[in-house]
Amino acid sequence: MNYLLPFIILITIVVFIHEYGHYYFARKFGVGVTDFSIGFGKEIFGWNDKHGTRWKVCWIPLGGYVKFFGDRNVFSQAEQKEIINKYSEEDRQKLFILKPIYQRSLIVAAGPLANYVLAIIIFALINMTVGKDMTPAVINEVQKNSPAFDAGFKMDDKILYINNKKIESVMEVSALINTSTSETIEFLVLRNDQEISLLVKPNLVSTKDYLGNSVKKKIIGIKLSPPANGYAKEPLSPTKAIYYSIKEVWFVTTASLNYLGQMIIGSGDSSQLGGPIRIAKITGQVAEYGIIPFFSIMAYISISLGLINLFPIPMLDGGHLLFYLFEKIMGKPLNQKTQEGFFRIGLFLLIFLMFFATFNDLKEIGLF
C-alpha cells in the first residue's frame, strides 16, 4: 500500500490532465461530451454536469477516456451521411465527426500537450521555490585505469560541455552520459584556463540506483563533489524557471526518443523498459523522500504519457492524427478495411509492448 497509494494519486492526476486537454478543446469547439472517465471498468461514483457530461471514477485506475457525442469511426462519406441523418440540426452541431480537420486534430492533440504543460508547470514551480542547482561540475577524483583516466581527465577539471550540450549543473553530468546514444562521448573541460576536448568510451555496468533498483549505467570513472558549502541551489525568476522547465522537458523527450530508437535498431538496453508495476514501485520509493521528489516524478511520467500518446500508432492519439493527415491529403477518410487493418496492427503493438514491459517488471522483482 505504501507504493500503491502514491501511484494511484500520481496516475489519477496525470490522466485527468490528459483527458481534460481533450475535454477543454472539445467544449471550446462545441463538441458534445457524454463521458469523462478516470479509470476503466465499473463506475465507483460519478455525477452529471449541466452540459450533460457524466464525470465518473472507475475501478481500474490505469487510464481514462473522454467520449464525444455520437462518437465513432467514420469510414466513408456514405456512412457519414447515414449517421448525420439520424440527428437533428441542433445535435449535428455537437458531432465530433462534422468538425473541420484542424479542430478534430487540436482536440486529439490537446491531451498529450496538456501533459507537457503539466510537466512545465511542475518544473517551473520547483525552480521558483526550491531552486535549480547551479553547482559547477568540477572533477574531484579520476579513478586509475578507468575510461576517464585513459582519456586524459585530471582532478579539478571543470566540465563545460558533453556532446556539445552545455553543463550548467553537476547534476546534469550523469544524465547526459547515460542518455548518450553514441559509443564515444565528447567532453569539453576547462583546465588551467584552457579548454580541452576529450573523448571517452564509457563502461556499461550493472549497479543500483539511489532507490536500490537494479540498473545498467554508463560509467567513465570520475567523482564530482560539490563545494564545501554544498550544492548551489538558487530560486529562479518566473521567466528563467519556465525557460529551464522547457529545456528539461525537451531533454527528457529527446532522450526518450533516442532510447527507443536504439531499442528498435537492437543496440539499446530493453531491460530498462518498465510498465505499471515498475512505475508504481518507483513512485512509492520516490514519495518517501517528500513532496518535491513526488511532483518531480509526476512531471517525468506526464512527459512519458504525452510522448507515447503522440506515437503514430492506431488507438493512440498519434494514430488518430495520422488518419486525419491521410484524410486531409485524400479529401476523405480512409476506407473501413484500411482503418480496421491499421487498428489491428496498433492493437498488436500495444499488447506486445504491454506484455514485454510487464515481463521486465516481473523479472525485476524476481518472479522470472
Helices and strands (H, E) in the chain, number of each type: 11, 12
- pLDDT of 270 higher than 80: no
Q: What are the C-alpha distances in Å from 70 to residues 11, 52, 77, 91, 102?
A: 28, 13, 16, 9, 19
pLDDT (0 to 100) of residue 32: 93
Q: Which of 234, 265, 291 is the last residue of a domain?
A: 234
- The C-alpha atoms of residue 136 and residue 344 are separated, in whole angstroms, by 51
List the beta bridge partners of residue 133.
233
Q: Categorize the per-residue pLDDT at 192 as very low, low, confident or very high, splitting at 50, 70 and 90.
A: very high
| One domain for residues 101 and 216 | no
Of 189, 211, 234, the last residue of a domain is: 234
Q: At residue 318, does pLDDT exceed 70?
A: yes
Residues 10 and 121 in one domain: yes
| Same-domain status, 21 and 117 | yes
- Both 108 and 67 in one domain: the answer is yes
Q: Is residue 187 included in any domain, yes or no?
A: yes
Task: Tell me which residue has cell 501533459.
Answer: 115
Query: What angle do the packed helices 101-129 and 4-28 form, to 10 degrees?
Result: 140
One-letter amino acid at 190 equals L
> What's the sign of the alpha-carbon dihedral 113, 103, 24, 40?
negative
Which residues, including other chains, have CB under 8 Å from residue 261's CB and lie 6 or more apart? 181, 268
Domain match, 81 and 168 both? no
Q: Do 81 and 27 belong to one domain?
A: yes
Do residue 11 and residue 83 come from a single domain? Answer: yes
Residue 263 covered by a domain: no
Nearest 5°: phi and psi at 37? -115, 135
Are residue 144 and residue 92 in the same domain, yes or no?
A: no
Residue 109 and residue 207 share a domain: no
Cα-based torsion angle of the residue sequence 311, 257, 137, 133 in order, rounded to the nearest 10 degrees: 10
Q: Is there a domain that residue 190 lies in?
A: yes
pLDDT band, very low/low/confident/very high, at 237 (cuts 50, 70, 90)? very high
Same domain, 125 and 138: no
C-alpha cell at 359: 515481463
Instruction: Examine the residue annotation and report whether 288 is marked as an active-site residue of this protein.
Output: no
Domain boundary residue among 199, 216, 234?
A: 234
Q: Is residue 285 part of a domain?
A: no
Beta strands in 238-313 (DSSP E): none
Which is more confidently placed, 208 or 120?
A: 120
pLDDT value for 123: 96
- Is residue 81, in this structure, part of any structural domain at all? yes
Virtual torsion, Cα 306, 309, 312, 314, nearest 10 deg: -170
- In the predicted structure, residue 211 carries a pLDDT above the cut 90: no
- Please give the tally of structural domains in the chain: 2
Tell me whether residue 326 is in a domain.
yes
- Which CATH number goes with the domain that contains 146? 2.30.42.10
For residue 250, is it within any domain?
no
Q: In this structure, are 121 and 16 located in the same domain?
A: yes
Instruction: Tell me the mean pLDDT in the region 302-311.
Output: 94
Question: Cα separation of 51 and 94, whole Å?
Answer: 12
Q: Which residues contact 311 (CB under 8 A, 6 or more apart)?
A: 318, 319
**Nearest partner of 282 among 192, 368, 195, 210, judged by Cα:** 210
Question: pTM of the prediction?
Answer: 0.87
pLDDT digits (tens, 9 = 90+) for 27-75: 999 999 999 999 999 999 999 999 999 999 999 888 899 999 877 654 4
Q: Which of 19, 172, 248, 364 is catalytic?
A: 19
Residues 34 and 107 in one domain: yes
Is the residue at 46 inside a domain?
yes
pLDDT band for position 367 (cuts 50, 70, 90): low
- Alpha-carbon torsion, ordered 29, 30, 31, 35, to 10 deg: 110
Q: How confident is the model at residue 346 (pLDDT cuts 50, 70, 90)?
A: confident
Domain range enclosing 100: 4-129+302-364
